[in-house]
């Protein structure tokens, strides 16, 4: 299963190209008639391909409609866990995506979905390098309102980085602002597929807490999801900690 998709991914990886799974949770159905013959095109959600394939840069986890891959314990967390266990590389990053054909299509504006990249400079090579390493976050904006990730660190490490915990706990820090202050936010900090911190407050939101690492485990990943009034959302890429 998935051998044809994997062949494509292997070819793209061989050319050092960025590739990601588009709308893995979306339904697509259309019916047509050509020369008097009716036919249909039908695509069902395929989140399972995150686990069945290797070598892709990421997936569209933040998009119009359902975003269940952001939920704790999803196939994304399973794939990240496989990376921590040395069973896959690279780790899959979460992209923002829109099914966009033209400006104004069904009320769509291309700036409603953005991937915010941290890079050394505004040049293609630097931007692509940062995307490959997970130095970006995804967000959905709405009617002039947007959420901004101002700080996301675990023991001083930021998105896409791997570091070491010196003891039995780590310090987690998250700060999210909004273009229009006062947006009611819900933030989840997720460690290895489980919520370790939940907060609800108006923007700007700031969290700083010490998380005690469970005994017997050596590898950990942290990620965060922040939601405002639908459809406002923000998803960080993970930070990896090894003990």
> Does residue 243 carry a pLDDT above 80?
yes
Mean pLDDT across 100-114 = 86
Q: What is the mean pLDDT of residues 190-197?
A: 98
Residue recorded with tokens 């995150």: 50
pLDDT higher than 80, residue 210: yes
Q: What is the pTM of this model?
A: 0.92
Distance CA 1, CA 190 (A): 31
Closest by Cα among 224, 184, 223 to 203: 184
| Segment among 2-11, 174-183, 193-202, 204-213 with least mean pLDDT | 2-11
pLDDT of residue 43: 84
Strand partners, 172: 154, 209
Q: Phi/psi of residue 13, each to 5°?
A: -65, -35
- Does residue 157 carry a pLDDT above 60? yes
Distance CA 106, CA 204 (A): 31
Measured distance CA(106)–CA(93) in Å, rounded: 28
Which pLDDT band, with edges at 50, 70 and 90, does 106 fall under?
confident
Looking at residue 1, its pLDDT comes to 53
Closest by CA position to 234, among listed 158, 145, 139, 98 = 139
For 95-104, the pLDDT digits (tens) are 999 888 888 8
Determine the Cα–Cα distance for residues 201 and 213; give it in Å rounded to an integer. 26
| Owner of token pair 């339904």 | 27
Give phi and psi for 87, each to the nearest 5: -95, -10
- For the range 107-113, what are the long-range contacts, defined as Cβ-Cβ under 8 Å and sequence gap of 24 or more? 111/141, 112/140, 112/141, 112/142, 113/62, 113/63, 113/138, 113/139, 113/140, 113/141
* Cβ–Cβ under 8 Å, residues 55 and 18: no
Q: What is the pLDDT of residue 121?
A: 95
């Amino acid at each position: 299963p998935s051998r044809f998709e994997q062949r494509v991914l292997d070819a793209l990886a061989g050319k050092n190209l960025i590739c990601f799974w588009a709308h893995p949770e979306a339904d697509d159905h259309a019916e047509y008639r050509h020369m008097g013959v009716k036919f249909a095109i039908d695509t069902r959600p395929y989140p399972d391909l995150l686990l069945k394939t290797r070598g892709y840069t990421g997936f569209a986890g933040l998009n119009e409609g359902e975003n269940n891959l952001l939920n704790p314990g999803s196939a994304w967390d399973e794939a990240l866990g496989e990376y921590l266990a040395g069973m896959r590389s690279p780790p899959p990053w979460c992209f923002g995506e829109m099914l966009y054909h033209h400006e104004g299509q069904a009320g769509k504006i291309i700036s409603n979905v953005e991937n915010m990249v941290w890079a050394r400079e505004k040049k293609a090579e630097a931007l692509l390098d940062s995307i490959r390493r997970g130095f970006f976050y995804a967000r959905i904006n709405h009617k002039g309102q947007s959420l901004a990730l101002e700080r996301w660190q675990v023991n001083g490490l930021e998105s896409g980085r791997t570091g070491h915990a010196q003891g039995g706990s780590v310090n987690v820090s998250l700060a999210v602002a909004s273009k229009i202050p006062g947006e009611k936010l819900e933030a989840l900090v997720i460690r290895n597929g489980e919520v370790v911190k939940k907060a609800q407050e108006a923007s700007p939101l700031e969290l700083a807490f010490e998380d005690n690492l469970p005994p017997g485990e050596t590898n950990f990943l942290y990620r965060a999801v922040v939601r405002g009034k639908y459809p406002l959302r923000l998803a960080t890429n993970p930070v990896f900690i090894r003990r």
